[in-house]
Structure formats: structure tokens, C-alpha cells
Amino acid sequence: MAKIKILLADDHEIVRSGLASMLNSYDDFEVIKEIPNGEKAYQAYTELLPDVLITDMSMPGIGGLEALRRICAKFRNARIIVFSMHENASLAMQAMSAGAKGYVTKSGDSQDLVDAIRQVISGKNYLSAEMAQKIAMQSVSGSDDPTQRLSTREFEVFRLLAEGLTIPQVASQLNLEAKTIANYQTMLKHKLGFNSSAEMVRLAIKYGVVSD
């Protein structure tokens, strides 16, 4: 039986090596390459066309969400699982909207990731139990999270600005003009209702887009 070829993207070497070792212990899995950032993840995906890409959300450079968006724009059948420390429903929903087939939190059991790979390979989507519960609770409570109304690109610009990057730095990471990022910032102010950088950061912390 052909092995499931897996590409790993995470900026922490110890996480990558631990994941690779765990996944390679299964007879039907083969980690074909380990990648430290979003740009290289996109490049490696294009060159290797793995069966599954497992990527972190927060990495240097364009990050996992932007890499996910670019890969899914080019490869409509890409099977990507986000494996993230972020346990926020908004981030999971953004990742799934961008094209991810699975979202697994790093705080969960390792079996979650194994189950996610097998589910995604079979053509299904997968959310780890705690994340599925958080999304369900958020839907039931009817709490209004304005970040859910953002497009994937708007969300990524918002996240990077809230993390303290300047407009030129965000433009460089996303390979866009600084003027374009400035336009996104103006649009975000209108959509989210903040008037200063401090208000933007408080909003991002409130909805779990960045940690405090």
C-alpha cells in the first residue's frame, strides 16, 4: 500500500522533529520534508505535491494562513491541516474558510492529528473535539465576532498589524504594495470600528487573534 506523503511546516525545529518521528512510526505515513516557514511551505508544496500538508498558523514570513491561501488558490484539491497552538474559534474558522481541510490544536492528543490525516485523505474535513465544541458554543451563544466577517486577506493583515508589524513590514511579508496595506488598514478601521493602534490591539486580544 502506498504511503501517505506528508509535508510538515513549523518554525520550531523540536516540534517538527517530534511530529516527524511520531508520524513516521505509522506504517502508512511518510514525512517527505520539514519546512520552517510559509514561503518555503508554498515552494515545497509546489515542487513535491504531497498528499497532505500539516502547517502551523504562526510562522516567520508570510505565515501559515497566507501560505494556505496561496496553495489553495493554485491547487484546488490541496489537503491541508492546520496544527496550531491557537485555540480560538475565529482562527479555526478563518483557516477552514481559506481552504484548510482540518484544524487540530497542539494541546490535544497526538491521536487527533493521526485521525485528522486519515479523515482528510478520505475526503472529509476534521476539527479536533475541543475546537468543534468552541465553534458550536460560539454559534449557539450568538456572540458577535466582527473578525469573522473579514476575508482571509483582511484577517491576515489585521493579525499582522495587531502583532506590531509596520505597514511596510506587512507589505513585504504578503508581497503587496505598502499602499495596498494602508488601504486594507483603512478598510479594517471601518469594518471593525477601531480608531487607533491601541484599540486595534485590544480588539485583536479580545477575539483571540493575538495573545496578550
Q: What is the CATH number of domain 4-140?
A: 3.40.50.2300
- The model carries a pTM of 0.80
**pLDDT at res. 125:** 95
Residues (pLDDT < 50) of the chain are none
CATH 1.10.10.10-classified regions of the chain: 146-206
**pLDDT at res. 62:** 75
102 touches 94 (CB < 8 A)? no
**pLDDT at res. 79:** 97
Which of these CATH numbers, 1.10.10.10, 3.40.47.40, 3.40.228.10, 2.60.40.1190, describes 146-206?
A: 1.10.10.10
